[in-house]
Amino acid sequence: MKTKEFIVTAIIIVVLLLCKFVLPKPIQFSPTISWIVTILLGLVFAFIFYLTIKGKPVERRIVFLLVGISLVVPFFMQFKLPLKISPEVQQVYDKLASLPPGSKVLASFDYDPPSAPELQPMAEAFVKYAFEHDIKIIMMGLWPQGPQQANQAVEAAFEENPALRDQVKYGVDYVNLGFQSGNEFVVLRMGESFKSMFPSDLNYTPYDSIPLLKNVSNFSNIDWSINFSAGKPGTVEWIQVAVDRYNLPMSAGNTAVQAPMVYPYLNAGQLLGLMGGMSGAAEFEKLTNLPGKATTFLLSQTFAHVVVILFIIIGNVAFLRSRKETK
């Protein structure tokens, strides 16, 4: 048993090192190979289906391995996927597009690196779009790591479009107020005065000496706000305090887990538009015409969903059959 584990470990290390140092990079499958790989995966599922129905369900590890493969393989494929825009995302975009140049937008980055795969693409597309359309962004975070994510989004925008680097000025076109602890109480106090909560920005520049903030004392001076949220504190807290008590117009980008909980607020008009998860991000990237990571990952995402659905179907068909037999 021990030797077997040792061999497995050794093989994994060798394969990884080979990938790192020997393999030509980057790897891309031609369409034919992509199709062949997809069909092979399908055959594996057919086999699992057969086994499960025969009453020999496969081990957990096989399931894990299959999920892993179907997430990784699409990285190297090049299928083009048509994407339909959902009304919630359209609403976010319409709101953003309707802002005249010079409008001030408050963007709260309430997430940390683990949730970045879903939210960072939205943030990047938003920042890029805002910079290109002369919309001013006031950034902040209710999560300690939020402001760093904001800076990364700005950096990504500059890398994508180097012309922006000269065009967009810190302090004039955007500002990063940083993080402040206190969850919804931060929002509550911002309702009275931003300055009381953020005496200085992330770089320790005093609030009053930042040109963009000259006329910003509280939410009443903000034209629109967007909130990228991965949990608590996040969109719900912003709605409860900033929207319900201070009438801040707000849209949100949420991790997919959070999104269903936010729909009632959307229907009630407390929230103006919602981007949910990676597919929401991909739709937003399409609308803003700034394809990024979410668009790239859409294929992997699709594969993953299909795999989970297949597992549910296989499990249930076997379950229904066995129930029929016992009857």
Contacts to another protein from residues 22-41, by CB under 8 A = 23, 25-28
Select the span of 39-47, 83-91, 125-133, 156-164 touching another protein (CB under 8 A).
83-91
Residues 6 or more apart from 224 whose CB is under 8 A from it?
Answer: 95, 96, 99, 103, 105, 106, 249, 250, 251
Q: Quote the least distance from Cβ 307 to another protein, whole Å.
A: 7
For another protein, give the closer residue by CB, 20 or 54. 20
Residues 119-138 that bind another protein (CB under 8 A): none
Q: How far is the CB of 244 from another protein (least distance, A)?
A: 5
Within residues 62-81, the interface with another protein by CB under 8 A covers 63-64, 66-68, 71-72, 75-76, 81
Site track 160-199 with another protein (rule: CB under 8 A), x = hit? ---------------------xxxxxx-xx--xx------
Choices 29-37, 124-132, 157-165, 235-243; region in contact with another protein by CB under 8 A: 235-243
Residue 10, number of CB atoms within 10 A of its CB: 10
Residue 43 or residue 163: which is nearer to another protein going by CB?
43
Give the residue from 32, 84, 117 showing the smallest Cα distance to 300.
117
Query: CB under 8 A: which stretch of 37-45, 95-103, 124-132, 157-165 binds another protein?
Result: 95-103
Distance CA 287, CA 280 (A): 11
Q: Which one, 171 or 231, has the nearer CB to another protein? A: 231
Q: Which residues fall within 8 angstroms of residue 283, CB to CB, at 6 or more apart?
A: 83, 84, 85, 86, 89, 275
Binding of residue 314 to another protein (CB under 8 A): yes
Give the per-residue contact string, 273-312, with another protein (x = CB under 8 A; - = no): ---xxxx-------------x---xx-xxx-xxxxxx-xx
- Under the binding rule (CB under 8 A), the answer on residue 221 touching another protein is yes
Which of 36, 208 has the CB closer to another protein?
Answer: 208
Q: If binding is defined by CB under 8 A, does position 261 make contact with another protein?
A: yes
Whose CA is closest to 248, among 97, 90, 105? 105
Q: 37, 117, 160, 164: which one contacts another protein (CB under 8 A)?
A: 117
Give the integer Cα–Cα distance in Å for 48 and 53: 8
Length of the chain: 327
| Span near another protein by CB under 8 A; candidates 33-41, 127-135, 141-149, 159-167 | 141-149
Q: Please identify, using beta-carbon distances, which residue of 210 and 259 lies nearer to another protein.
A: 259
Minimal distance, residue 252 CB to another protein, in Å: 14
Give the total of residues touching another protein (CB under 8 A): 105
206 lies in the binding site for another protein (CB under 8 A): no
The single residue among 83, 163, 167, 206 that binds another protein, judged by CB under 8 A, is 83
> How many Å apart are CA 170 and CA 161, to the nearest integer?
16
**If we measure between CA atoms, which residue out of 279, 314, 325, 259 comes closest to residue 63?**
314
Contact residues for 126 (Cβ-Cβ < 8 A; gap 6+): 96, 107, 153, 226, 253, 284, 288
Say how far apart CA 71 and CA 294 lie, in whole Å: 14
Instruction: Please state the closest distance from residue 261 (CB atom) to another protein, in A.
Output: 6
Output the smallest distance, CB 217 to another protein, in A.
Answer: 6
